[in-house]
């Protein structure tokens, strides 16, 4: 079997998860990892895979079928996405929801001119939750959709706080409103503001000499990430951080509550996730969509795509005939 040649750009939580997920995919082979850090300083799970400097990535175009972009959405992907979409088939997890339309446009032009596919905003939200919001609205047009996350560690928000000047280490937990969730589960269709659905809590280790109040203000007022939420910022020491904030569980659910049928029956569509490791799951979604991106490009497709544009069967290593036999 000819294996799909995968490379990883950016070796953090998501990059390490992707390396592990590729090992679970016999139809794929990890060929290289690219990092902005000194390659000699990057320790991979699999020592047989070479690490190269990100600056040299262009020379490896012919060795890679799909490149997984595992950088942070706050500042890495806005720069790396458009540049790498002009060189490779790419898959990324861009999750600054408010900026997805402009990011889509920024990837579409270089991908089309290079004859490549750029599959953006892949993961669980955006990603699998986006798909289920679509299913809910298409199947139950009369109703309301609700999304709740956590309690768990948001990688996007944790990446964002780590980019703040004066932050040495940081994580962010998302906490859903129990009362809001109860109302929705009871079949009410309340109108809930962003602030009424979730609160956010950060744990920060300050860099030496950093101004705590300046860091707190930057975080709580950060557009697209924290400004629309009630956010708590806790400052802790490095030992406490390491002891208490090293795991990354998360989860959540999408619920569509509506009515349909001649009797206007109450219908509820729900999709939920319980994740022991947010990066471990998200990277597995990236790898499944890397398979789809490869197939789409082999079939002549180019340009920017989201999960809403991908036929589900393309995610599977099975043939369409096997899928019809086994999954229908
Ligand atoms: N759509 C979705 O459902 C989801 C999306 N995401 C997205 O994934 C993004 C990445 O998350 P995550 O992997 O946790 O981010 P990390 O902070 O772990 O990694 C981000 C980048 O930082 C660099 N880096 C990592 N560790 C170090 C280090 N010790 N020293 C210096 N640089 C380092 C790496 O780049 P380099 O190797 O080049 O140095 C890496 O690509 C998030 O920003 C989020 O937007 C995450 C979960 C779900
Ligand atoms: N993109 C999120 C995935 C989910 C989790 C989340 C949040 O806690 O705000 N929003 O979407 C992440 O980076 O973990």
In this prediction, residue 64 has a pLDDT band, given cuts at 50, 70 and 90, of very high
pLDDT confidence of residue 258: 92
Q: Determine the pLDDT at residue 188.
A: 85
pLDDT of 47 higher than 90 = no
Please state the rounded mean pLDDT for residues 31-41. 97
Residue 34 Cα to ligand 2 midpoint, Å, equals 25
Can you give the pLDDT at residue 1?
77
* Alpha carbon of 35 to ligand 1 centroid (Å): 11
3-state SS, one letter per residue, for the chain: CCCEEEEEECCCHHHHHHHHHHHCCCCEEEEEEEECCCHHHCCCCCCCCCEEEHHHHHHHHHHCCEEEECCCCCCCHHHHHHHHHCCCCEEECCCCHHHHHHHHHHHHHHHHHHCCEEECCCCECCEHHHHHHHHHHHHCCCEEEEEEECCEECHHHHHHHHCCCCEEEEEEEEEECHHHHHHHHCCCCCCCCHHHHEEEEEEEEECCCCCHHHHHHHHHCCCCCCCCCEEEEEECCHHHHHHHCCCCCEEEEEEEEEEECCCCEEEEEEEEEEECCHHHHHHHHHHHHHHHHHHHHHCCCCEEECHHHCCHHHHCCCCHHHHHHHCC
Task: Read off the pLDDT band of 151 (50, 70, 90).
Answer: very high
The mean of the pLDDT values for the chain is: 97
Distance, C-alpha 121 to centroid of its chain: 6
Ligand nearest to the CA of 70: 1
How far is the C-alpha of 94 from the C-alpha of 74, rounded, in Å? 9
Q: Do the Cβ atoms of 176 and 251 come closer than 8 Å?
A: no
pLDDT at residue number 308: 98
Asked whether 307 and 118 are in contact (CB, 8 A), the reply is no
Ligand 1 mean position, distance from CA 155 (Å): 8
pLDDT digits over 66-79, tens only? 999 999 999 999 99
Q: Which atom of ligand 2 is nearest to the CA of 156?
A: 13
Cα separation of 308 and 261, whole Å? 26
> Ligand 2 within 6 A of 159 CB?
no
The gap between the terminal CA atoms of the chain, to the nearest Å, is 26
Is the pLDDT at 173 greater than 90? The verdict is yes
- Report the pLDDT value the prediction gives residue 186, as an integer from 0 to 100: 86
Q: Indicate which residue's Cα is closest to atom 8 of ligand 2.
A: 154
Provide the 10 A C-beta neighbour count for residue 284: 20
pTM: 0.98
What is the reported pLDDT for 295?
A: 98
Ligand 1: residues within 6 Å at CB? 10-15, 35-37, 54, 70-73, 76, 93, 95, 123-127, 155-156, 159, 162, 278-279, 282
pLDDT at 325 over 90: yes
- How do residues 192-221 score in pLDDT, each as one tens digit? 999 999 999 999 999 999 999 999 999 999
Percent share of the chain, pLDDT over 90: 97
Q: Is the CB of 65 under 6 A from ligand 2?
A: no
pLDDT tens digit sequence for 86-103 = 999 999 999 999 999 999
Per-residue pLDDT at 62 exceeds 90: yes
**What confidence score (pLDDT) does residue 156 get?**
98
pLDDT band at 83 (very low <50, low <70, confident <90, very high): very high
Nearest CA to ligand 2 atom 6: 154
- Please tell me whether the interface predicted TM-score (ipTM) of this complex is above 0.90: yes
Q: Is 92 in the pocket of ligand 2 (CB under 6 A)?
A: no
Burial class (CB in 10 A: 0-12, 13-18, 19+), 103: buried
pLDDT tens, position by position, 102-143: 999 999 999 999 999 999 999 999 999 999 999 999 999 999
């Amino acid at each position: 079997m000819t294996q799909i040649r995968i490379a990883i750009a950016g070796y953090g939580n998501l990059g390490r998860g992707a390396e592990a997920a590729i090992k679970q995919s016999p139809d794929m082979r990890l060929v290289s990892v690219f990092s902005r850090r000194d390659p000699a300083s990057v320790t991979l799970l699999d020592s047989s895979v070479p690490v190269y400097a990100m600056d040299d990535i262009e020379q490896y175009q012919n060795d890679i079928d799909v490149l997984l972009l595992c950088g942070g959405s706050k500042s890495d992907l806005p720069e790396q996405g458009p540049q790498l979409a002009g060189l490779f088939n790419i898959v990324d997890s861009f999750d600054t929801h408010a900026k997805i339309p402009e990011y889509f446009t920024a990837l579409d032009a270089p991908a089309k001119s290079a004859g490549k596919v750029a599959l953006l905003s892949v993961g669980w939200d955006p990603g699998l939750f986006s798909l289920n919001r679509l299913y809910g609205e298409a199947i139950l047009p009369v109703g309301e959709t609700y999304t709740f996350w956590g309690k768990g560690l948001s990688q996007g928000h944790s990446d964002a706080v780590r980019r703040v000047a004066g932050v040495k280490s940081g994580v962010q937990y998302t906490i859903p409103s129990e009362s809001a969730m109860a109302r929705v589960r009871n079949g009410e269709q309340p109108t809930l503001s962003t602030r009424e659905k979730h609160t956010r809590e950060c744990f920060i280790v300050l860099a030496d000499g950093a101004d705590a109040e300046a860091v707190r203000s930057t975080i709580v007022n950060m557009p697209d990430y924290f400004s629309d939420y009630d956010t708590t910022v806790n400052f802790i020491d490095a030992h406490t951080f390491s002891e208490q904030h090293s795991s990354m569980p998360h989860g959540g659910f999408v619920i569509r509550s509506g009515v349909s049928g001649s009797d206007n029956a109450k219908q509820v569509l729900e999709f939920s996730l319980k994740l022991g490791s947010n990066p471990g799951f998200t990277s597995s979604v990236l790898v499944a969509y890397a398979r789809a991106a490869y197939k789409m490009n082999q079939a002549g497709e180019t340009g920017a795509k989201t999960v809403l544009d991908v036929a589900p069967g393309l995610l599977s290593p099975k043939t369409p005939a096997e899928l019809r036999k086994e999954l229908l």
